Amino acid sequence: MRMHEQFSPMRAAIDIGSNTIHIVVARSTSNDLDIVEDQVALVRIGESVNATGEISQEKAEATIDLLKEYKALAEKHGADPIFVVATEAIRQARNSAAFVQQVQRETGLTVELISGTAEAVLTFYGATYEVSKGPNPPAQVGVMDLGGGSLELVTARNMQITWRVSIPIGSGWLHDRYLSSNPPSYDELVVADAFLQAYFQGLRVKHHPPVLIVTGGSANSLLHLVHRAFKLEENQTQLTQRDLVRCQGLLSSLPAEEIAQRFDQPLERARILLAGALIIQAVMSRLHINEIHVSSHGIREGVLLAYERYGDRWLEVVSKSAADLNHQQQSEAPVPIIPEEQPFARSGRRMLLERTQKMVEWLKEVQKHEDIEAVHKMRVASRRLRAALDAYESCCDPKLFKKVYRQVKKTADTLGAARDTDVMLLDLQAQLEQAKSEEQAGIRWIIKRLETFRQQKQDELDSFLESLDEGTLKKQVESLIPEGVKSNGKG
Amino acid sequence: MAKARPITGLDPQAPTGKNARIIAKVRLEDLYSWESYVDNPYSIQELHNLRIAAKRLRYTLEVFEGVLPEASKSVVKELAQIQEELGSLHDSDVMIALLRLCLASQDSATSPDIVQSDANKHNVKGKSLVSPEMAAAFLDTAVTPSAEERYGLEQLLQSREQLREKQYSAFRQHWYTLQARDFRRETLEILDV
């Protein structure tokens, strides 16, 4: 411990991200930190937000349990205050306000929901404080914070932020959307890679920093993986394109459980690591950079530094500098997943493939017969695919379109027959609980008939899904919109 | 309901944002083409079609959410609510048709085929609310309800009809709230940004 830090106050900062919840306890000054605790747990709140738009009660409870533990840890070190900030996943959730209240009620901790720009500013402080206090800080630097639900990219000159962009793509998001098999299949990898290439091609990069610091759980886990699997020296914190290609090979050939066990990674992290590697590689290619510096510091350290610099008004000051940055850039709007100017036919090729992938990835779940919600989710995915097919019909090869459309409709109808019966059964079962005794016999009679009927529908569904050739369907969808298409005459 | 109508005037090489707006506007017109049935609670098929049209517009806005203005999310929210309201109404219609079918088949010595056709008569044009397969499963003479079970079914039918009335009122009230703020124009203005 450095002398001056013995008397520095102890503080704690917790950040709730879409993948992880992280705490740092440190003796803090305005330009340095002596970290005494640094812990992280993977809760993946973003998973429930991606699936339903809300933080599930299960995730809320897991978060609260962890926050209670973190609070006790911070108090053990005499940390005061204990800051809690929440980022992308919480901001996006429809029930964020209720969640924040629940946390306050059950833990006594106040959660600050921070904007994307404030998050970027704080992360920049945290990720660069070590290089900025060094003898030769780089004149130009970029910081990328890769989270579960989004990615923040910031560039700076003389440690002053000059540009930032928020991208709604994170490792958890990419995994849930494209890479959900374990390990991800070749087809999934191709689609995910095609998506990232198309997306980043459309990203206008204003500055190309020669040095890029990458922070966030995925980057740090990849560094750990490279240390363990490819024997990189322990004090090395740089990763090259080549290292990431090697990670990709490893992560796409072994199941997450094996990655977790062999390379000492939490299972939940192992699942989304390939997505993280793909995103980092795509950004490196876009910035023409061959090497990144991985930092374990980020938003939490940024919060502690900001508090020491600006006191109780730290969030106000950070938000103001974030607003100034927005004003300078005239926009905080995230870069859309489909660039608005992208030609319709091109966005269609990607969109149709993506929607098809989304639908077929429910196949195994439906066939397991474990959760009736899987039938519902696959049906919804088939409807979304139909909506995309309807939208892009005018660009499609008419014959092939008919074939694919018929197949998707048949899928939706077969799932629909089973799902509609499930809904009736759920409804009747709820009524049965509240019905008077003389009414119950009638409800039981109809439930029994419906259950027999539902079994028939399940048999039909099983045999239909058995015959559904996933590979052929994907190939057909890939060829739906021919290159250089003008119009098929329908439009 | 038939397949969504193909959209005319789309240039495959035009920006996605431009075409997305054209498609969304057509789906909005499709939705409002069923508006005149909102005041008739027993236009079962037409209210069902209105629900499908709302669903198509909602999914179109979701498919293109990345290239449409942020404000289109509030339109999606309203559409999801309409879809939910009309979905519950439709579920009640199916349940009522099924209960009537079960009860009618016990009322007389009428053949199951006639009962089924009678139960569907006032429902939908050309398409049964209760599928022929489902009807067959319930018209099996080997599994007729006892007097006690029949009483329960009658009570269930009665409560379901009351619930349907409430569901219809909730939907209609929501529709008129949207009318009052000119939801159609509001949506068009969002799409014109």
Is residue B102 assigned to a domain? Answer: yes
Chain B residue with minimum CA distance to A351:
B63
Partner-chain contact B102 A446, CB within 8 Å: yes
A3-113 and A135-296: same fold? yes
Helix axes B16-32, B183-191, angle to 10 degrees: 170
Partner-chain contact B64 A338, CB within 8 Å: yes
Partner-chain contact A340 B131, CB within 8 Å: no
Alpha carbon of B163: minimum distance to chain A alpha carbons (Å): 12
Confidence of residue A331 (pLDDT cuts 50, 70, 90): very low
Distance in angstroms (rounded) separating the CA atoms of residues A254 and A258: 6
Class of domain A135-296: alpha beta
Task: Give me the pLDDT at residue B107, please.
Answer: 55
- Binning chain A into helix, strand and coil, the percentages to the nearest 5 are 60, 15, 25
Task: Give me the pLDDT at residue B125, please.
Answer: 45
Partner-chain contact B11 A438, CB within 8 Å: no
Mutate which: B67, B77, B164, vs A, most A CBs within 10 A? B67
Mutate which: B3, B8, B10, vs A, most A CBs within 10 A? B10
Distance in angstroms (rounded) separating the CA atoms of residues A214 and A346: 31
pLDDT digits (tens, 9 = 90+) for B80-117: 999 999 999 999 999 999 999 888 765 544 455 554 55
B4 → closest Cβ in A390, A438, A491: A390
Residue type, A200: F
By the CB < 8 Å criterion, does A452 face chain B? yes
Task: Give me the pLDDT at residue A327, please.
Answer: 65
Partner-chain contact A441 B149, CB within 8 Å: yes
Among A380, A277, A298, A272, smallest CA distance to A46 is for A272
Q: What is the DSSP string of A53-107?
A: SS--HHHHHHHHHHHHHHHHHHHHTT--SEEEEE-HHHHH-TTHHHHHHHHHHHH
Whether the CB-CB separation of A128 and A141 falls below 8 Å is answered with yes
Confidence of residue A433 (pLDDT cuts 50, 70, 90): confident
Distance in angstroms (rounded) separating the CA atoms of residues A127 and A287: 19
Chain A residue with minimum CA distance to B13:
A343
pLDDT at A205 over 80: no
Task: Give me the pLDDT at residue A491, please.
Answer: 43
Stretch A57-86: mean pLDDT: 96
Confidence of residue A258 (pLDDT cuts 50, 70, 90): very high
A to B CB pairs, distance under 8 Å:
155
Distance in angstroms (rounded) separating the CA atoms of residues A79 and A90: 25
Task: Give me the pLDDT at residue A340, please.
Answer: 66
pLDDT at B126 over 60: no
Helix (H) or strand (E) holding A333: none
Chain B residue with minimum CA distance to A336:
B66
Partner-chain contact B19 A344, CB within 8 Å: yes
Is residue B142 assigned to a domain? Answer: yes
Is residue B1 assigned to a domain? Answer: no
Long-range Cβ contacts of A357-366 (<8 Å, 24+ apart): A357/A178, A357/A187, A357/A188, A357/A191, A357/A474, A358/A177, A358/A384, A358/A385, A359/A384, A359/A385, A359/A408, A359/A411, A360/A468, A360/A470, A360/A473, A360/A474, A361/A180, A361/A181, A363/A465, A363/A468, A363/A470, A366/A415, A366/A461, A366/A465
Work out whether strand A160-167 and strand A151-157 pair parallel, antiparallel, or are unpaired.
Answer: antiparallel
Residue B184, domain extent: 16-191
Task: Give me the pLDDT at residue A388, please.
Answer: 92
> What average pLDDT does chain A have?
87
Is residue B7 assigned to a domain? Answer: no
Supply angle C-alpha A44, A88, A373, rounded to 5. Answer: 45
The DSSP call for residue A213 is E
Alpha carbon of B149: minimum distance to chain A alpha carbons (Å): 4
Partner-chain contact B16 A338, CB within 8 Å: yes
Partner-chain contact B137 A442, CB within 8 Å: no
Residues of chain B found within 8 Å of residue A440, distances taken between Cβ atoms: 152
Task: Give me the pLDDT at residue A438, please.
Answer: 82
Stretch A168-172: mean pLDDT: 87
Stretch A150-179: mean pLDDT: 86
Residues of chain B found within 8 Å of residue A355, distances taken between Cβ atoms: 63
Span of A122-126, A176-180, B49-53 with lowest mean pLDDT: A176-180
By the CB < 8 Å criterion, does A449 face chain B? yes
A143-162 residues touching B, CB cutoff 8 A: none
- Three-state DSSP class for A181? coil
Distance in angstroms (rounded) separating the CA atoms of residues A424 and B138: 14
Distance in angstroms (rounded) separating the CA atoms of residues A466 and A473: 13
Is residue B86 assigned to a domain? Answer: yes
pLDDT at A370 over 90: no
pLDDT at B129 over 50: yes
Stretch A46-61: mean pLDDT: 84
Residues of chain B found within 8 Å of residue A446, distances taken between Cβ atoms: 98-99, 102, 153, 156
Q: Is the pTM of this model over 0.90?
A: no
pLDDT digits (tens, 9 = 90+) for A228-250: 998 888 888 999 999 999 999 99
Task: Give me the pLDDT at residue A329, please.
Answer: 60
Residues of chain A found within 8 Å of residue B11, distances taken between Cβ atoms: 344, 487, 491
Distance in angstroms (rounded) separating the CA atoms of residues B24 and B184: 12
Strand partners, A15: A22, A85
Task: Give me the pLDDT at residue A81, please.
Answer: 95
- CA A353 from chain centre, in angstroms, equals 20
Residues in Cβ contact with A367 at an 8 Å cutoff, skipping those fewer than 6 apart = A462, A465
Partner-chain contact B15 A341, CB within 8 Å: yes
Distance in angstroms (rounded) separating the CA atoms of residues A124 and A302: 7
Partner-chain contact A340 B67, CB within 8 Å: yes
Mutate which: A340, A402, A456, vs B, most B CBs within 10 A? A340
Is residue B171 assigned to a domain? Answer: yes
Task: Give me the pLDDT at residue A337, please.
Answer: 61
Span of A282-296, B9-23, B115-129 with lowest mean pLDDT: B115-129
pLDDT digits (tens, 9 = 90+) for A289-309: 999 999 999 999 999 999 999
Task: Give me the pLDDT at residue A365, please.
Answer: 85
Residue type, A438: E
| Cα-only R_g, chain B | 21
Residues of chain A found within 8 Å of residue B134, distances taken between Cβ atoms: 453
Residues of chain B found within 8 Å of residue A397, distances taken between Cβ atoms: none
Q: Is A349 exposed, middle or buried (0-12, 13-18, 19+ CB in 10 A)?
A: buried
Partner-chain contact A439 B62, CB within 8 Å: no
Chain A residue with minimum CA distance to B133:
A453
pLDDT at A90 over 90: no
This complex has an ipTM of 0.86
pLDDT at A351 over 70: yes
pLDDT at A4 over 60: no
Alpha carbon of B90: minimum distance to chain A alpha carbons (Å): 11
B10 → closest Cβ in A344, A384, A481: A344
> Is the CATH code 3.30.420.40 the one for domain A3-113?
yes
Task: Give me the pLDDT at residue A1, please.
Answer: 46
Distance in angstroms (rounded) separating the CA atoms of residues A155 and B33: 51
Residues of chain A found within 8 Å of residue B99, distances taken between Cβ atoms: 446
Partner-chain contact A445 B149, CB within 8 Å: yes
Domain total in chain B: 1
B6 → closest Cβ in A341, A444, A491: A491
Partner-chain contact A391 B60, CB within 8 Å: yes
Alpha carbon of A447: minimum distance to chain B alpha carbons (Å): 11
- Domain spans of chain A? 3-113, 135-296, 344-421+465-479
